[in-house]
Amino acid sequence: MSAHGETAAAPAEAIGRPTSSRRAKDLGFRLGLLTCLGLAILLLGVLLWDVASDGVDRLSWDFITSFASINADQAGIEAALTGTLWLMGVCAAFIIPVGVATAIYLEEYADNTKWYNRLIEVNIQNLAAVPSIVYGILGLAFLVRGPLSLGPVILAGGLTLGLLVLPVVIIAGREAIRAVPPSIREGSMALGATQWQTIWRQVLPAAVPGIATGVILSLSRAIGETAPLIVVGAATFVAFNPTGLDSNFTAMPIQIFDWISRPSNDVNDYKPLAAAGILLLMIVLLFMNAIAIWLRNRFEQKW
Amino acid sequence: MEAGARAEARRPEVSLRAPRPRYGEKIIKGLLVLAAFISVLTTTGIVLSLLEETITFFGDVSVGDFLFGTEWAPLFEPASFGVLPLVSGTLITSAIAMLVATPLGLGAAVYLSEYARPAVRKTIKPILELLAGVPTIVFGYFALTFFTPEVLQALFGSSIQIFNALAAGIIIGFLIIPTVASISEDAMSAVPASLREGAFGLGGSKLQVTTRVVFPAALSGIVASLVLAMSRAVGETMVVLIAGGLRPQWGVNVGESMETMTAFIAATGKGDIATGSIAYKTVFAVGMTLFVITLILNLFSIRFVRKYRQVYE
């Protein structure tokens, strides 16, 4: 990009050949930008290194297959791991149908000039940025107590997380559906298919990879959410695996939070436990993201 | 009128209408509308649940005492319900976070949009996405066990307590960098190349073109990213809960323990509080305050994003 203005012709000075001070400024600016990016990446690196070095010694098969214990040496994360799997199951069962249906409605049916459709859209954009702890309050007031009175159980926790990540699924689903070219729809309609037949047999199959990626990314956001589950009332000391939707539960981030906030002493040091829990959580997350990236690359369609 | 008449004349030959009414199609559309309505119901549910308890809360505590009181001690005797210490705690950590995230996030966005070669961009964007995907509890752990003792206390000594606003604010700042960077980068990439070429043609340097042409042209998107990041910082819970402390403080001392609105809600509303108790009601009153603040920020940001989309897309 240094080509412009660098002519050796006589009036070059008048046009403004880059002076050395101007070049120095350009270089300085560029270095400044690189520093900004470098700092962000550096912090991520230090964070990963710190967690890994604190927790790697404690991460073992025993850690994964033991329940909570007052003795730091014997404590494990099994109940939290199974609790998290249950929560993700409930969350997925809720967000996939509701999220995809909303995305289909907004992309294929809704008339953008109508005020109520615009309201739904702004509403979803706002919901995506409502603090997660407010969803916890919603879960506490409506699901755990109040109208539904489910109690602090798997179903309430999973639905709270589902409501929290629903906007993410809807936004990803809409993008995937929008990426299917109109010619596919027109072709299908021209052959006599109804609107729903077109959506169900042409548009959705083509949009599935994008939707699946969005669902996995939403679940990977839900899996690390701590604050709403605290408010909903996830237990911190659970020595059993959940047995059903109406079972009390704990989850990985809740268990990690409990270990972080316990005062450590010479006998019981909970810090390595917390770090090991974080490591396990990050491994699960990395695995989910890898699947999402693989899906995106494997099935991405160029029209 | 004339066109209608022509269609009328043709109808007996080829009917374009469905041979039978398709009730299934209507039912399906109805179900889809219902699903879309769930998101509206969610907002309604949030507002209703907050409002109901907040109103009963204000039956016990006057609005003026709540909004302008400078002492927050709802669970002590005598109780005091001034929310300002919590609001100031939130504003201080958010302000520190913005001081970190604004230069770093915008710097990263400008570099990725204007300077980085495509290959570099392709490797760096996933790293930023990874930063965005790290659960906030991990940032909390990092702030408490590494950043405060190994960095801040090493630099500033004992004036920094183990729980403090500075560490929480700085770490939240890093956590919202991806929000600032990705939306700003989108906005800058959306600035048409012709604007840049015109500026280069007039003899502008890369620095001048970036700062005086691209940056102003993308300003509404950049503002949107900053406002959205601010909203995230205000609503962030785990970092302040773990590393910021739980001692409401009216006044500015970033090295000391403090309490934010979110930390209060998480610490008090642990699920086992009695329905209808004063603790239960305060959770909702503070939640309402938090919701209103973030709602205003979000609506601002949505409006700004729409503005830049309208101009260039």
Yes or no: say if A221 and A166 are a contact pair by the CB < 8 Å rule.
no
pLDDT at A201: 94
When the pLDDT of each residue in chain A is averaged and rounded to a whole number, the result is 87
CB contact under 8 A, B295 and A126: yes
Q: Following DSSP, what letter does each residue of B179-243 receive, concatenated?
A: HHHHHHHHHHHTS-HHHHHHHHHTT--HHHIIIIIIHHHTHHHHHHHHHHHHHHHHH--HHHHHH
Asked, for residue B125, whether it belongs to a domain, the answer is yes
Q: Which residues 23-52 on chain A approach chain B with CB closer than 8 angstroms?
A: 25-26, 29-30, 32-37, 39-41, 43-44, 46-47, 50-51
pLDDT at B77: 75
Yes or no: say if A189 and A183 are a contact pair by the CB < 8 Å rule.
no
Among the partner residues A123, A152, A195, nearest to B271 by beta-carbon distance: A152
Q: Is the peptide bond before A167 cis (omega within 30 degrees of 0)?
A: no
Q: Which of B28, B128, B205, B294 to mutate to test the interface with A (most CBs of A within 10 A)?
A: B205
Q: What distance in Å separates the CA atoms of residue B78 and residue A299, rounded to the nearest whole number?
A: 64
| Nearest residue in B to A167, CA atom | B39
Yes or no: say if A85 and A157 are a contact pair by the CB < 8 Å rule.
no
Mean pLDDT, to the nearest integer, of A19-30?
86
Nearest-CA distance B64 → chain A (Å): 24
Structure pTM?
0.88
ipTM: 0.88
Asked, for residue B76, whether it belongs to a domain, the answer is no
Tokens of A289: 């993201």
Q: Report DSSP state, residue B274.
A: P
Q: Which residues 146-185 on chain B approach chain A with CB closer than 8 angstroms?
A: 146, 174, 177, 181
Beta-carbon contacts of A164 under 8 Å, excluding residues fewer than 6 positions away, are A132, A135, A222, A225, A228
* CB atoms closer than 10 angstroms to residue A20: 7
CB contact under 8 A, B298 and A260: no
Q: What percent of chain A has pLDDT over 90?
A: 56
Rg, chain A, Cα only: 26
pLDDT in tens, A38-55: 999 999 999 999 999 998
Q: Which residues 94-123 on chain B approach chain A with CB closer than 8 angstroms?
A: 103-108, 110-112, 115
- In order along its 313 residues, chain B shows pLDDT tens digits of 455 555 555 555 666 677 778 888 899 999 999 999 999 999 999 999 999 999 999 988 889 889 998 889 888 878 889 999 999 999 999 999 999 999 999 999 999 999 999 899 888 888 888 888 899 999 999 999 999 999 999 899 888 899 999 999 999 999 999 999 999 998 999 899 999 999 999 988 899 999 999 999 999 889 999 999 999 999 999 999 999 988 888 877 888 999 999 999 999 887 677 888 888 899 999 999 999 999 999 998 888 877 766 666 5
pLDDT at B14: 66
Beta-carbon contacts of A94 under 8 Å, excluding residues fewer than 6 positions away, are A158, A159, A162, A166
Mean pLDDT, to the nearest integer, of A95-105?
96
Nearest-CA distance B79 → chain A (Å): 23
pLDDT at A5: 44
Among the partner residues B35, B108, B115, nearest to A98 by beta-carbon distance: B35
Asked, for residue B177, whether it belongs to a domain, the answer is yes
B57 touches chain A (CB under 8 A): no
Question: When comparing pLDDT for A18 and B200, which is higher?
Answer: B200
Beta-carbon contacts of B44 under 8 Å, excluding residues fewer than 6 positions away, are none
pLDDT in tens, A213-256: 899 999 999 999 999 999 998 887 777 888 888 888 999 999 99
Question: When comparing pLDDT for B142 and A14, which is higher?
Answer: B142
Nearest-CA distance A281 → chain B (Å): 9
Which uninterrupted H or E stretch holds B297?
helix B278-312
Yes or no: say if B242 and A261 are a contact pair by the CB < 8 Å rule.
yes
Beta-carbon contacts of B114 under 8 Å, excluding residues fewer than 6 positions away, are B188, B206, B210, B214
Helix, strand or coil, per DSSP, at residue B82: coil
B14 touches chain A (CB under 8 A): no
State which residues form the domain around B95: 83-312
B260 touches chain A (CB under 8 A): no
Asked, for residue B20, whether it belongs to a domain, the answer is no
Yes or no: say if B301 and B227 are a contact pair by the CB < 8 Å rule.
yes
3-state helix vs strand vs coil in chain B, percent to 5: 75, 0, 25
Taking the CA atoms of residue B101, residue B106, residue B112 and residue B113 in that order, the dihedral angle to the nearest 10 degrees is 150
Domain count, chain B: 1
Beta-strand relationship, B80-81 and B72-73: antiparallel
The structure tokens 């500026």 sit at: B199
Q: Report DSSP state, residue B255.
A: T
Q: Which residues 283-302 on chain A approach chain B with CB closer than 8 angstroms?
A: 285, 289
Q: What distance in Å separates the CA atoms of residue B35 and residue A132, rounded to the nearest whole number?
A: 21
pLDDT at A239: 77
Please report, as a single letter, which amino acid is at residue A195.
Answer: Q
Asked, for residue B131, whether it belongs to a domain, the answer is yes
Q: Give the residue among B133, B132, B94 at the shortest CA–CA distance from B230.
A: B94
* CB atoms closer than 10 angstroms to residue A189: 14
pLDDT at A185: 94
Beta-carbon contacts of B215 under 8 Å, excluding residues fewer than 6 positions away, are B110, B188, B222
Asked, for residue B276, whether it belongs to a domain, the answer is yes
Asked, for residue B222, whether it belongs to a domain, the answer is yes
In chain A, what residues touch B134 (CB-CB under 8 Å)? 44, 47, 224, 282
Read off the pLDDT band of A172 (50, 70, 90): very high
Yes or no: say if B238 and B140 are a contact pair by the CB < 8 Å rule.
yes
CATH of residue B160's domain is: 1.10.3720.10
Q: Give the residue among A1, A62, A50 at the shortest CA–CA distance from A27.
A: A1
Q: What distance in Å separates the CA atoms of residue B189 and residue B181, rounded to the nearest whole number?
A: 12
pLDDT at A1: 42
